[in-house]
């Protein structure tokens, strides 16, 4: 009868977005409720009104970020037919472009925090399985269509995803010669060596 529900949902999302920004900027342990409130343009009371405790707010923010990332990656492969192009699209969305990326710091904080919080471990686990399913699906399709070499899709997926994580960590932390371009180069090189040259592979297996 009133537009209240949408107002509530919207307010909640604003707070979650503000929280994600704060986590990425100052780190999980330094986020203050008052920071989030200020950034969301509300009073601290509202945060507790919607989330009860700071901890709950932070957990929900991680959940929100995971969900947003998933939606973004799904959108990126919408209407992309070729497996190779789909893989490129997903990687392109996920890999950082600039050093000022706010997403990857968030994941780092999630992992560090999850070490001590089983619910966050569960969140990470579910998220990771989603990533695996997405990438592995693309690889399997590409193998079926002859675009990719026929190796263990699951193993390559794990190697690819974890290599990305590791590379982006060091890149984000300013490892020498590991800028965004170099990260992509190394990732694509791995993809090529693991899945590429389908011809040669087919040839070899004959």
Partner DNA sequence: TATGAATGAGAATTCATTCAT
Partner DNA sequence: AATGAATGAATTCTCATTCAT
Burial class of 163 by CB neighbour count within 10 A (0 to 12, 13 to 18, 19+): middle
> How many of the other CB atoms lie within 10 Å of CB of 134?
19
Identified binder of DNA from the candidate list 16, 18, 20, 31, rule CB under 7 A: 31
Residue of 156, 124, 159 lying closest to 137 (CA atoms): 156
Q: What CA–CA distance (Å, rounded) separates 23 from 36?
A: 9
| Nearest CB to DNA, comparing residues 12 and 70 | 12
6 binds DNA (CB under 7 A): no
- String marking each residue 52-91 x if it binds DNA according to CB under 7 A: xxxx------------------------------------
| Nearest CB to its own copies, comparing residues 43 and 75 | 43
| Nearest CB to its own copies, comparing residues 75 and 173 | 173
Burial annotation 183-205 (CB, 10 A radius, 16+ → b, else e): bbeebeebbeebbbebeeeeeee
49 binds DNA (CB under 7 A): yes
Of 45-53, 60-68, 74-82, 169-177, which part binds DNA (CB under 7 A)? 45-53
34 binds DNA (CB under 7 A): yes
4 binds DNA (CB under 7 A): yes
Contacts with 100 (C-beta within 8 Å, 6 or more apart), sequence order: none
Binding site for DNA (CB under 7 A): 2, 4, 7-8, 11, 30-34, 42-46, 48-50, 52-55
């Amino acid at each position: 009868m009133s537009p209240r529900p949408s107002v509530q949902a919207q307010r909640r999302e604003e707070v979650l977005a503000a929280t994600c920004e704060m986590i990425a900027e100052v780190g999980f342990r330094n986020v203050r409720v008052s920071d989030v409130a200020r950034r969301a343009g509300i009073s601290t009371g509202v945060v507790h009104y919607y989330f009860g405790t700071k901890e709950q707010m932070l957990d929900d923010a991680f959940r929100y970020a995971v969900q947003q990332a998933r939606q973004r990656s799904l959108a990126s492969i919408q209407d992309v037919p070729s497996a190779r192009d789909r893989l490129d699209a997903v990687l392109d969305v996920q890999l950082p472009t600039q050093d000022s990326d706010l997403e990857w710091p968030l994941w780092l904080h999630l992992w560090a925090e999850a070490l001590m919080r089983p619910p966050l471990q569960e969140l990470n686990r579910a998220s990771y399985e989603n990533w695996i399913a997405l990438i592995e699906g693309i690889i399997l399709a590409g193998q079926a269509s002859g675009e990719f070499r026929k190796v263990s899709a699951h193993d390559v997926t794990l190697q690819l995803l974890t290599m990305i994580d590791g590379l982006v960590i060091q890149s984000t932390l300013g490892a020498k010669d590991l800028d965004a371009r170099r990260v992509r180069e190394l990732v694509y090189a791995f993809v090529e060596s693991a899945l590429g040259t389908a011809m040669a592979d087919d040839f070899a297996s004959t």
